[in-house]
Amino acid sequence: MTPVVDAADKTEQALFGLVGDRVVISVDAMGGDRGPAAVVAGLVLALSDNVLIAFVLHGDEAVLNPLVAAQPQLSGRCVVRHAPRAVTMQDKPSQVMRNGTDTSMWSCVDSVKTGEATVAVSCGNTGALMAISMLRLRKLPGVNRPAIACLWPSRNAGGFNVMLDVGADVKAEPEDLLQFAMMGASYARNGLNLPRPRVGLLNVGTEETKGRQELKAAFERMPAVAAVGDFEFVGFVEGGDIPGDRVDVIVTDGFTGNVALKTGEGTAKLISDFMREAFGGSLLSKLGALLALGSLRRLQKRMDPRRVNGGVFLGLNGTVVKSHGSADALGVAAAIKLAFDLAKSGFNERLAARVASAGLAGLDAGEQGEVS
C-alpha cells in the first residue's frame, strides 16, 4: 500500500533532503526583544541573498504560521515547530534547564542535536542559551570550558578580528585561555580564511611581567600550544589592539571580554549620535552633511553593529549562534549569514578535529595535527 503523505510532510521532505545543497538552520523565533515579526523578516532578508538556506522556525505556531504565510519567499523553505513557551531575558539559566523543555529555545537547540538542522540561531537570553546548549549538545572531547566568540570591526585587511570569550563564563584559568586560543585560531582560519592567524592575550600592558597570575601562566605555555594549533602567538596585547591590525584573535576571560564588547557597541552608538547631532545643528552643517552623504553612509555601514551581529558558541558538539537580543531584521539576517557560512565550511567538524589532534585542547605540544 502506498503511504499517505499530507501537505506538511511534503513540505518537510522538500525542506530536508530533496534539495541536496540546502543548509538547514534552526531559528528561535520567540527570544528577541523585537518579537517574532522581526525574526521572520530577518529570514526573508537572508533568503534574498542566499537561495541555499532553509529554516526550522521554533515558537508558538498560532503566532508564527500567519507571519510565515504572509511571506511567499518562505514557501517550501520554512517549517514551523510548535513550542508553547518562550525563555525571557529575566529567566535564570538553572530554571530553564529544569523546566524549559517546551520552550522555543530548547526546541531550537534540539534540532541541531537530532541532526535536523546544522546550526542554531537565537536572539534570546545568553545564559539560558549557553546552559541549554551545554546540556543538549555537550562539550567537545578535550574542551574544559566553551567560549563565545564575536567578530570585531578592525583595521585588518578582512575587516574583522575575533575575540573570545565575550560572556560564556566570567572567569578563565590558564588552561581555558590556552583552549580559547586554539578555538579562536580555528574560527579565524575557517571563518575569515586566515591560514596562520595571529593570536594575542589581552592584558593591561604588553610587558611579560604585567597582569594576573593566570595570564602569566598562559603566556608561558602559549608558544607550545601555538606550535600545535598552527597559529602565531604575538604575546600580550592591550585594549587598543582589539580593533587594530596587530592581531587576528584576542583571547581573554568572559568578564573582560563582555565589558569590552558592550563598551565598544556603546561607543559606536555614541559616535553615531554625536555625528547626527553635529551635522543637524545648523543649515551650514546640514549642507556639509549633504555633500559628504556618500562617505557618511559608508562610515555608517562600516560601524553598524547589526551587520556583524552574532556570537558563536565554541567548544560544543554543534554550532550555536547567539544574536543580539535587540536585533532587528537586518541583525537577524546577519546572524543567519554567519550561521550559513560556518555550516558550509564544516567549521565545527574542523574544530573538533583540531582539538582532538592536539590532545587536551593543545596542552600536549607533542601532538601535531594536519587539519584546518
Whether 305 has a pLDDT exceeding 80, the answer reads no
Structural domain contains residue 319: no
Can you give the C-alpha Rg of the chain in angstroms? Answer: 22
* CATH label of the domain that carries residue 34: 3.40.718.10
Grid cell 593566570 in the structure block, residue: 214
pLDDT tens track for 334-370: 899 889 988 888 888 888 877 776 654 445 433 334 4
pLDDT at 135: 92
pLDDT at 289: 63
**Whole-angstrom distance, CA of residue 206 vs CA of residue 217:** 15
- If asked whether residues 47 and 161 sit together in one domain, one would say no
User: What integer best gives the mean pLDDT of the chain?
Assistant: 83
Whether 6 has a pLDDT exceeding 50, the answer reads no
pLDDT at 369: 40
- If asked whether residues 279 and 186 sit together in one domain, one would say yes
Whether 99 has a pLDDT exceeding 60, the answer reads yes
Residues of the chain with pLDDT > 90: what percent?
43
Structural domain contains residue 344: no
Please identify, among 118, 137, 156, the residue that sits at the C-terminal boundary of a domain.
137
- If asked whether residues 163 and 76 sit together in one domain, one would say no
Query: What is the amino acid identity at position 229?
Result: G
Label residue 359 exposed, middle or buried (CB < 10 Å: 0-12, 13-18, 19+): middle
Please identify, among 102, 137, 172, the residue that sits at the C-terminal boundary of a domain.
137
Task: Give the contacts of 137 (CB within 8 A, at least 6 positions apart).
Answer: 109, 112, 113, 316, 317, 318, 320
Structural domain contains residue 332: no
pLDDT at 2: 36
Query: What's the domain count of the chain?
Result: 2
Whether 233 has a pLDDT exceeding 50, the answer reads yes
Q: In terms of pTM, does the model score above 0.85?
A: no
Structural domain contains residue 80: yes
- If asked whether residues 14 and 113 sit together in one domain, one would say yes
Determine the structural domain holding residue 72 and report its residue range.
7-137
pLDDT at 303: 55
- If asked whether residues 258 and 189 sit together in one domain, one would say yes
- If asked whether residues 218 and 122 sit together in one domain, one would say no
- If asked whether residues 64 and 168 sit together in one domain, one would say no
- If asked whether residues 124 and 166 sit together in one domain, one would say no
Please identify, among 137, 171, 197, the residue that sits at the C-terminal boundary of a domain.
137
- If asked whether residues 32 and 13 sit together in one domain, one would say yes
Structural domain contains residue 370: no
Residue ranges of alpha helices (H) inside 199-346 are 213-229, 254-279, 283-291, 293-303, 329-345
Instruction: Give mean pLDDT, residues 105-115.
Output: 95
Ramachandran category for residue 30: left, alpha or beta (phi over 0 → left; psi -120 to 50 → alpha): alpha
Structural domain contains residue 176: yes
Structural domain contains residue 109: yes
Confidence category of residue 141, pLDDT binned at 50, 70, 90: confident
Instruction: Give mean pLDDT, residues 117-142.
Output: 91
- What is the distance of C-alpha 309 from the center of its chain? 7
- If asked whether residues 123 and 153 sit together in one domain, one would say no
- If asked whether residues 160 and 74 sit together in one domain, one would say no
> What's the length of the chain?
372
- If asked whether residues 113 and 39 sit together in one domain, one would say yes
Whether 150 has a pLDDT exceeding 50, the answer reads yes
pLDDT at 290: 67
Whether 203 has a pLDDT exceeding 70, the answer reads yes
SS (H, E, C) the chain: CCCCCCHHHHHHHHHCCCCCCCEEEEEECCCCCCCHHHHHHHHHHHHHHCCCEEEEEEECHHHHHHHHHCCHHHCCCEEEEECCECCCCCCCHHHHHHHCCCEHHHHHHHHHHCCCCCEEEECCCHHHHHHHHHHHHCECCCCCCCEEEEEEECCCCCCEEEEECCCCCCCCCHHHHHHHHHHHHHHHHHHCCCCCCEEEEECCCCCCCCCCHHHHHHHHHHHHHHHHHCCEEEEEECHHHCCCCCCCEEECCHHHHHHHHHHHHHHHHHHHHHHHHHHCCCHHHHHHHHHCHHHHHHHHHHHCHHHHCCEEEECECCEEEECCCCCCHHHHHHHHHHHHHHHHHCHHHHHHHHHHHCCCCCCCCCCCCCCC
pLDDT at 237: 95
Confidence category of residue 10, pLDDT binned at 50, 70, 90: very low
Structural domain contains residue 22: yes
- Which has more confidence, 214 or 290? 214
pLDDT at 11: 46
Strands 119-122 and 147-153: unpaired
pLDDT at 349: 85
